[in-house]
Structure 1
Amino acid sequence: MTAERLVAERGLHGVRVSEVVREAGHKNNSAVVYHFGSWEGLLQAVWQRHTEPVAVDRAVLIAAAIDRGDYDLRAMVEAYVRPIVTELGRHQPSYWARFNEQWLATIALDIFTLDDKTIARQPRADTTTLIHNLLIDIAGSLDHLSDAARTRRTALMTRYVIAALAAWERGDEDSQSLDDLAQDLVSTSLAMLLAP
């Protein structure tokens, strides 16, 4: 999707609707409004294009870990990392991690404040609730940290994973196996979360 690529390359505020329309091969600047309702609607469509399959994969991993009786911190981190990596592998070239990185740059570090109004604005509230609950579970597993440190450490871990995947997208995507990168991300995320 043209908007995804442009936002990934230039940032949320570095792209004009007219550029997206032109690069997508349209001549009518109102095409975005016609198809998506607004610029925000277009960004939501990009978001939804990826979050739905990620949420499906994530739900499967969580359910399998619970069924096996090993829904521990490693399983939670795997459920955070692996579905994102799988989604990047579905799209070559990939822009999704860089798109996410640009979005994360616009929000506060506190990713845990999620009210009903925020959830209601999401195209699929269940996908938002799933990731929110997973991050709460991760933070809740960090009993060696204070409450404030738990949420901060979890938020930092999410940004670390997205930044590393965005860096992978910026490089030669064939130079490093996504499976190897996923394993490194799980291991280093666990180290980050478990550090004193």
Structure 2
Amino acid sequence: MVNRTNRTQPLSGRGAGTREAIMTAAERLYAEHGLSNVSNRQIGEAAGQGNNTAVSYHFGSRATLVRTIMAKHGTHVGVIRMRYVKAAGDSTELRDWVRCLLRPVTEHHAALGVPSWHARFAVQVMTDPLMRTLVEDESLTRDSLCLTLQGLGRCLYDIVPPEIRPARAEMARHLITHTCAERERTMAEGLAEPGASWERTADALEDALVGLLAAPITRH
């Protein structure tokens, strides 16, 4: 008997194509309407599937579908990030490690073309408590991100006390996620200002993140 409740492994041939179509449709619909406002039936129809159970058959649950989409993008970002990590080496410059954190994300978004939906989809995922936990747990197992966070920690060791760093890390995550989502939206809707690009967005974010992470601390 075929287990259809948690099919997470890619299939070959036609099955793989169906999974890809479902992920593409789901990412767009989730980005546009939110995770809780999109049904499996809507995703299946948008993916060109006549079978109403196609999403359940290939992914089992919404959580598995979301994790699969995020993992696919995360793999691409991880490859890019590792290049930055190798270039940074043993650097003690905060900006070098901020680049390792940020630039792979913006480079990946740029490679997706216009329109794209991943940045807006990621915002939906990261503001859903359950999905966020699932995705964060998986992302923290990636070597490239672990090495980046270690590099940032070394740079901030003598600048920011340990008890302050988690809050700033959370702020940095929000800044990257929401800024990228807004940039993607304006580009997709043709509302971006002249000369707007992912590279310019990355330049602005890099400056902001360096300032945020190393900002002076107010003592009470």
Does 2:194 match 1:179?
no
Q: Distance in 1 between matches of 2:155 and 2:33?
A: 37
Q: Distance in 2 between matches of 1:137 and 1:151?
A: 15
Question: Which residue in 2 is equivalent to 1:54?
Answer: 77
Structure 2 letter corresponding to 1:146: P
TM-superposed deviation, 1:100: 1.3
Pick aligned residue for 2:166 from 151, 168, 182 = 151
RMSD: 2.5
Does 2:33 match 1:19?
no
- Report the 3-state secondary structure (helix = DSSP H, G, I; strand = E; otherwise coil) of the residue aligned with 2:104: helix
Question: Which residue in 1 is equivalent to 2:98?
Answer: 77
Percent identity between the two aligned chains: 29
Q: Is the 8 A contact 1:139 1:154 kept in 2?
A: no
TM-superposed deviation, 1:79: 0.8
Question: Which residue in 1 is equivalent to 2:17?
Answer: none
- Report the 3-state secondary structure (helix = DSSP H, G, I; strand = E; otherwise coil) of the residue aligned with 1:81: helix
Does 2:209 match 1:194?
no
- Structure 1 residue runs of 4 or more that deviate by more than 3 Å after TM superposition: none
TM-superposed deviation, 1:138: 2.2
Q: Distance in 2 between matches of 1:95 and 1:147?
A: 35
Structure 1 letter corresponding to 2:209: S
Q: Distance in 2 between matches of 1:172 and 1:60?
A: 27
Q: Is the 8 A contact 1:77 1:190 kept in 2?
A: yes
Question: Which residue in 2 is equivalent to 1:29?
Answer: 52
Q: Is the 8 A contact 1:21 1:32 kept in 2?
A: yes
Q: Distance in 1 between matches of 2:97 and 2:129?
A: 23
TM-score with structure 1 setting the length: 0.83
Q: Distance in 2 between matches of 1:84 and 1:47?
A: 12
Q: Is the 8 A contact 1:135 1:154 kept in 2?
A: no
Q: Distance in 1 between matches of 2:141 and 2:165?
A: 24
Q: Is the 8 A contact 1:140 1:150 kept in 2?
A: no
Structure 2 letter corresponding to 1:83: P
TM-superposed deviation, 1:137: 3.7
Q: Distance in 2 between matches of 1:188 and 1:178?
A: 15
**Paired residues for 1:130-145 under 5 Å:** 130-142=144-156, 143-145=158-160
Question: Which residue in 1 is equivalent to 2:29?
Answer: 6
Structure 1 letter corresponding to 2:201: L
Question: Which residue in 2 is equivalent to 1:41?
Answer: 64
Does 2:111 match 1:96?
no
TM-superposed deviation, 1:133: 4.5
Instruction: Flag the 1:29–1:71 CA change in 2: closer, same or farther, 3 A.
Output: farther
Q: Distance in 1 between matches of 2:101 and 2:175?
A: 12
Pick aligned residue for 1:170 from 174, 182, 185 = 185
TM-superposed deviation, 1:126: 4.4
**Paired residues for 1:98-137 under 5 Å:** 98-107=120-129, 119=137, 122=138, 126-127=141-142, 129-137=143-151
Instruction: Flag the 1:136–1:57 CA change in 2: closer, same or farther, 3 A.
Output: same
Q: Is the 8 A contact 1:4 1:46 kept in 2?
A: yes
Could you list the runs of 5+ residues in structure 1 that have no partner in the other structure? none
Deviations 1:101-125 (A, max 9, x none): 11121239xx9x99xxx85xx4x87
TM-superposed deviation, 1:135: 3.0
